Structure 1
Amino acid sequence: MCHSDITELLEFANKEGWVSDAQEYEFLLGNNPEGCFTLEFGGEVAGGITTILYNHSAWIGNFIVREELRNRGFGTELFIKALNFLEMRVRTIYLTASPRATSLYTRSGFSQIMRINRWRYRGENTRKMEDYISTPSDTKEALTMDNLSWKDDRSVLLEYNFNKSRIFLNRLPDGFLVIIRIAGVDIIAPWEVREGNHKTAESLLSDAMYFIENRSVMLDVPENNHYAENLLKEYGFYISGHTWFMVKGKLPGINFDNIFAMASLGSIG
């Protein structure tokens, strides 16, 4: 993949209704240029796939093929390239799959772990959201918390989100919540607490609602976090869809009770 491919890949993604932007592609390509792939057909980009590497794990994301070229083997070729690249480097590979795409991944040795539910809140978009950063110097504690929850160092992802955050709500060392914007959409990514602390989780969401109650926002939440589900319902959020969290290789003891929102909408983790 090269930088000039991004415009076409975004066109494919927009047709699918994905929430993605050039900044995310540039971030992924800049951090792992050897692990992002495209295929060409007839002199044009036929499809692409991105990966991101952490210390012990990796994610596959932004996997798309031009609509008129699907079911011709391009997707399988792209996926195998990405998978082979990652299997030589890490012991655990994650992805989130749409329900109709899980068969490709199970044939390649991935297992379904749980649903990742897409939650939405629809406001009136009448209040302007100002940038608000709360003690950003404390982000080292947030990185440590994420490390303990995921059993891996994902600093490259968290620091990317912190740097582009519109909102950083800090209850450290007990929890934090970040709101970023991708392609004009406000996203809670991530929202984490220590040891499943319900009081901190609700306090963070309550404060976040000051900024988002008159806006639209979305977040991806592990199905196994039942308290997050109940809390979001209480605040007027609803489920608009889901993907499947899948893994190949060693699954560490991820503490999903601490994870109230993923750090991306499926492409990074």
Structure 2
Amino acid sequence: MAFSGTATYVATRELSMAVNAAVQLQKPLLIKGEPGTGKTLLAYEIAQSLGKPLYTWHVKSTTSAQQGLYEYDAVSRLRDSQLGDGSNRVGDLAHYIRKGKLWQAFESEEQAVLLIDEIDKADIEFPNDLLLELDRMEFYCYELQQTIKARHRPIVIITSNNEKELPDAFLRRCFFHFIRFPDRETMEQIVGVHYPDLPQELMTKAMSVFYSIRDVRALKKKPSTSELIDWIRLLLVAGVTHDDLNDLDALNELPPYLGALLKNEQDTDLMTALRRKGGRPY
């Protein structure tokens, strides 16, 4: 079975090759790219396309590698013992073990897809703390004195927003792919998946506006794919046509619902200033 995208996710040839190469090599696939280019969504689509269960581990700044393996709830065990719980569960340490996402993926009855999302949000040592587990697909539970081994090696998808550099030792164990921002042709395919009945003239004009805004070098944050999808949805709900956008262009006025594309006041002020000076960013 090979991944080539789904009915709701347009995967370029390079991305499909990267996914399938990582699966063949049995290495984690490290995905980088601009926010909004579908890095996180990729794991969901791989699971759907290949018919496999999905386990998602969304990393935060306070997340530790141990949480992905398991956590021992010593507080609950102490409370139960103090309350004189009549059951035998106080002596059963397994009752107080909370399985993490890696453990859950390891014990899956069939090969699973494991998403480790935004790994660069955690402490710099976080990736190194997972080297052995991701390499050997096993870890040791000290409380149970048991080695937990993967029944089936999961397909591991790791995303990063490049907020910090990842250790070389970790990178050596991954297959890397950078999702480049879609060109206009690919973007039209992506929009077409979401809005199959979008008039071609409106599609053409919306693409022109979107890419021209992205071409403004001084922008603090360039609009992403997901923001384009939101903007087009608003245009359709409001009944905005390509003629309306052309009229606004002729009057040097900003397009409607610009807040779906630009997310800070500096960029909004920049676009307003360009229009007032007769600039044509789109």
Same-fold status (TM-score > 0.5): no
Query: What TM-score results when the alignment is normalised by the length of structure 1?
Result: 0.27
Tell me which protein shows more helix as a share of its residues. 2
User: Which structure would you say has the larger Rg?
Assistant: 2
